[in-house]
Amino acid sequence: MKDATPQAVYLSDYTPPAYLVDKVSLVFRLDPAATRVLSRIEFRPNPDAAPGQPLVLDGEKLKLIGAAVAGEAVKDGDHTQTDTGLTIPASRLPAEPFVFEAEVEIDPSANTALEGLYMSNGMYCTQCEAEGFRRITYYPDRPDVMAPFHVRIESDEKVLLSNGNPGASGDGFAEWTDPWPKPAYLFALVAGDLVAAKDSFTTRSGTPVELGIWVRPGDEGKCDYALDALKRSMKWDEDVYGREYDLDVFNIVAVDDFNMGAMENKGLNVFNSKYVLASPSTATDMDYENIEGIIAHEYFHNWTGNRITCRDWFQLCLKEGLTVFRDQQFSGDMRSKPVKRIQDVLQLRARQFREDNGPLAHPVRPSSYIEINNFYTATVYEKGAEVIGMLKRLVGDDGYAKALDLYFDRHDGDAATIEDWLAVFQDATGRDLSQFGRWYTQAGTPRVTVTDDFKDGTYTLHLKQETPATPGQPDKQPQVIPVAVGLLNPNGDEVQPTTVLELTEEQQSFTFDGLSAKPVPSILRGFSAPVILDRKTTTEERAFLLAHDTDPFNKWEAGRALAKDVLARMVTDRAAPGPAYLDALERVARDETLDPAFRALALRLPSEDDMAQTLFDAGVTPDPLAIHDAREKLMLALAEHLSSVLPGLYEDMSIPGPYSPDSKAAGCRALRQTALAMMARLDDGKTAAKQFRDADNMTEQLGALGVLLSVGHGQEELGTFYRQWQLDRLVIDKWFALQSSLAAPGKAADTTLALTRHPDFDWKNPNRFRSVIGGLATNAAGFHDPSGASYELVADWLIRLDPMNPQTTARMTTMFETWNRYDADRQALMRGALQRIAATRGLSRDTTEMVGRILG
Ligand code: ARG
Ligand code: ZN
């Protein structure tokens, strides 16, 4: 039974736990349908909490076999048991520390929600963040209760893993001890027929660490890259943050059924197999890059998340924002910093700005939630990382390093808050951060409007900030916005190198003296703050910055803005793309001094969804079909304009020898792919068809197939591809996603419907479901088909998935979060689909919350 009215939890209601835990011992007797979990938990009254409180333990979907307090069985009437937990009254508890013991039975085989202990392809695995441990046994399942765990697993499975260091093991059992106190959400257990790819790492203080990546037999050859990324991450965290690993072993397990990307369980990370397994013939450059970034992310959590965790789930950004920021730094160091920054901003705008400017907008640190799993969002993660980037810019690299050292010193072993985090920066640098703190509490993307004037050698920038109202927050206060600015002379020389203006008031002016001519400003260099920059400017100025800006981000941004201007005019006035844009891009295409990866990004057109948001921001109701057509036309115009450059570029970017995933080679392939996509508009896909036949790696094979589909060909190749990769789930996911995401607008719903009838559409597997249904969402013109057919198809499937997997269903309702951008007909259709979901009997708490918020 689902509760009728889901209860919200409020940050302001936080109270410390009544009891702390000194030690946890668990015994698992594994059985697919009837696993027994025996727990022995050493409790002690919390000196910082009111005395004489009952013991409240969380527990869901547990069958209680028996429990005892201080060795005495708890009898009926001694406790209250509900479907969310177990409460033992204070009268039944000793005033001193005491031991609580319980035996429960759980059914991993029936666990389709993939939270707690579940089965994936016959293997046992767990996912406990955020509140999955309560589906394993009765426990105070909150992150501010931390304890060392001892685990004994009894099972005939070949491999038995848990957190910490291995202990005794033998026929049918294995024991693990994790000496580091941890909250229950970091617990993990894995058991199954697994093999390991092994390696080792010696920490800088000389301690050897055994590394293992555990996969299903047959996949052990696909772990080299993940292992290499892990070792580089371990070294980087020592070199850059001074953080060493703290156990004898570090294990990673690849799991096929997983709701998210990966999980940082102490010493035993569990990963969606998509972010571990790679070989040149099955993984794309993007897969390799994601693996590197996610391996790093989860490893970095060992300090930012595990050694220092969150006091409560409102503080989620404390670990996630910081860890994303760290993994972004790492990837920038491993690859190209400017290219990484551009990619991160593209993501931020595509996911976080979209969220922040719609009905789901919420602060980086929310103040209430119904289901915490609904707050693992782009705002908490990506905007959370941007906030840290701004802090670093404001206090400088040295200030940041000092603050981080203090953070690790002061809070190691703590469950901390955002206030603790900001206090560390204040104490280390002396800077008052009270106003800066608004970045954590105010939702919405600030809009910074810029005007300028020039008089007697003095150039003045006038900045004005405004943050729009968001749900529950009608009025906003000014925020601290670091605006990195540089000035260029009309001849292209930089006359003012990058300097950071601190915008703290609603309106402020900044002057630059001693200039001989009115400069061209380069504003928000490096995307120094997550804001929308609003400035009237000319095509010539944008082309000038694309040619001359010394800041690579703004150089790219200038080209991007040009493309958006051109596309917007094509959509609204049916204007043809002018020579200024085409010539500027030709210069980029021909400029061999530029990094190929950068050139690829600069030549790529904005996505249809990005254009829809851009038009909406400018007060125009976006028509997804018109945007699609305009983008296709612009692609053709660009291809024609570049027709003499493309074949040479395509040849030059081909790399002889065997495939290597390194960033330089990947950059060349990215540029080659961009050229191929344009060439297909001129040669009807001939070059792409040849590339498909000749490809010896997945990047080029899949790239060619995508291009063929986007010019209306590729049906035969789809068949070839399927037959070749039929047995490789991760590759077949790509095959599905490509078809729903690239179907022609009028055919998207039918194509997707047909895919859902394919025998390989295993809809209970989250990766497969996301490939097909999520793929349709990335097909903007197809998803927004005026008939509403795609909306209905998505609603049907979300309704079907919800009882099986509420978390993935709830997350995918965000496909509808942009309804308020569109025309009245589409709005009515989208709202209708949402209302149909909302009206479903027994709808999960997760999906109920999301649909309610989206409808507003
Ligand atoms: N902490 C994980 C990460 O960012 C995410 C796990 C989220 N899982 C969930 N069910 N909400 O790496
Ligand atoms: Zn994380």
pLDDT digits (tens, 9 = 90+) for 395-422: 999 999 999 999 999 999 999 999 999 9
Cα of 183 from ligand 1 centre, angstroms: 14
Q: Which ligand is in closest contact with the Cα of 131?
A: 1
Cα of 255 from ligand 2 centre, angstroms: 17
Q: What's the CA angle centered on 840, arms 753 and 773, to 5 degrees?
A: 25
Q: Please, are residues 208 and 184 in contact by the beta-carbon 8 Å criterion? A: no
For 495, how many CA atoms within 13 A lie in the half-sphere containing its CB?
A: 19
Helices (H), 301-429: 316-334, 337-347, 354-356, 378, 384-411, 418-429
User: DSSP secondary-structure letter at 565?
Assistant: H
Three-class DSSP category at 43: strand
Share of the chain above pLDDT 90, in %: 99
**Long-range contacts, 794-802 (Cβ 8 Å, 24+):** 794/833, 795/833, 795/834, 795/836, 795/837, 797/756, 797/763, 797/769, 797/773, 798/773, 798/837, 798/847, 799/836, 799/837, 799/840, 800/763, 801/763, 801/769, 802/837, 802/840, 802/843, 802/844, 802/847
In DSSP terms, which residues pair with 214 in a beta bridge?
Answer: 196, 253
Condensed to tens digits (0 to 9), the pLDDT of residues 500-516 reads 999 999 999 999 999 99
Alpha-carbon span 47 to 254, nearest angstrom: 41
Cβ of residue 177 lying under 6 Å from some atom of ligand 1: no
* pLDDT attached to residue 334: 98
Condensed to tens digits (0 to 9), the pLDDT of residues 458-468 reads 999 999 999 99
**Does the pLDDT value for residue 4 go beyond 70?**
no
Distant-in-sequence, close-in-space partners of 829: CB < 8 Å, separation ≥ 6: 788, 791
- Given the residues 131, 298, 382, 817, the one annotated as active site: 298
Over residues 553-566, mean pLDDT: 98
Cβ of residue 260 lying under 6 Å from some atom of ligand 1: yes
Residues with CB under 5 A from ligand 2 (ion): 320, 323
**Does the pLDDT value for residue 78 go beyond 90?**
no
What is the number of other CB atoms lying within 10 angstroms of the CB of residue 640?
12
Three-class DSSP category at 721: helix
Over residues 75-103, mean pLDDT: 94
* pLDDT attached to residue 429: 98
**Does the pLDDT value for residue 822 go beyond 90?**
yes
**Does the pLDDT value for residue 532 go beyond 70?**
yes
Cβ of residue 313 lying under 6 Å from some atom of ligand 1: no
Cα of 323 from ligand 2 centre, angstroms: 6
3-state per-residue secondary structure call for 63-87: EEEEEEECCEECCCCCCEEECCEEE
User: Ligand 1, from 259, 263, 377: best to mutate by most atoms within 8 Å of Cβ?
Assistant: 263
When the pLDDT of each residue in the chain is averaged and rounded to a whole number, the result is: 97
In DSSP terms, which residues pair with 199 in a beta bridge?
Answer: 211
555: part of which helix (H) or strand (E)? helix 552-573
For 609, how many CA atoms within 13 A lie in the half-sphere containing its CB?
A: 23
Condensed to tens digits (0 to 9), the pLDDT of residues 655-707 reads 999 999 999 999 999 999 999 999 999 999 999 999 999 999 999 999 999 99
Cβ of residue 294 lying under 6 Å from some atom of ligand 1: no
**Count of H-run helices and E-run strands, the chain:** 29, 31
Cα of 185 from ligand 2 centre, angstroms: 13
Confidence of residue 346 (pLDDT cuts 50, 70, 90): very high
Structure tokens at 842: 């027994």
Distant-in-sequence, close-in-space partners of 279: CB < 8 Å, separation ≥ 6: 221, 222
Cβ of residue 129 lying under 6 Å from some atom of ligand 1: yes
Q: Which ligand is in closest contact with the Cα of 133?
A: 1
Query: Which residue's CA is the nearest one to ligand 1's atom 1?
Result: 263
Alpha-carbon Rg of the chain, whole angstroms?
A: 28
Alpha-carbon span 795 to 212, nearest angstrom: 41
* pLDDT attached to residue 436: 98
Confidence of residue 596 (pLDDT cuts 50, 70, 90): very high
Condensed to tens digits (0 to 9), the pLDDT of residues 21-47 reads 999 999 999 999 999 999 999 999 999
Over residues 814-842, mean pLDDT: 98
Alpha-carbon span 598 to 340, nearest angstrom: 10
Alpha-carbon span 244 to 238, nearest angstrom: 6
Condensed to tens digits (0 to 9), the pLDDT of residues 274-287 reads 999 999 999 999 99
Residue 807 alpha carbon, nearest atom of ligand 1:
10
Amino acid at 119: M
* pLDDT attached to residue 588: 97
Cβ of residue 317 lying under 6 Å from some atom of ligand 1: no
Confidence of residue 77 (pLDDT cuts 50, 70, 90): confident
Cα of 3 from ligand 1 centre, angstroms: 25
Q: What's the CA angle centered on 811, arms 189 and 142, to 5 degrees?
A: 45
**Active-site residue, 298 included:** yes
Q: Which ligand is in closest contact with the Cα of 271?
A: 1
**Phi/psi of residue 77, nearest 5 degrees:** 95, -20
What is the ipTM for the molecules in this complex?
A: 0.98
**Does the pLDDT value for residue 840 go beyond 50?**
yes
**Does the pLDDT value for residue 1 go beyond 50?**
no
Condensed to tens digits (0 to 9), the pLDDT of residues 709-724 reads 999 999 999 999 999 9
Query: Which residue's CA is the nearest one to ligand 1's atom 5?
Result: 263
User: Ligand 1, from 114, 118, 260, 809: best to mutate by most atoms within 8 Å of Cβ?
Assistant: 260
**Does the pLDDT value for residue 839 go beyond 60?**
yes
* pLDDT attached to residue 127: 99
* pLDDT attached to residue 3: 47
User: Ligand 1, from 118, 127, 129: best to mutate by most atoms within 8 Å of Cβ?
Assistant: 129
Query: Which residue's CA is the nearest one to ligand 1's atom 3?
Result: 263
User: Ligand 1, from 376, 377, 381, 807: best to mutate by most atoms within 8 Å of Cβ?
Assistant: 376
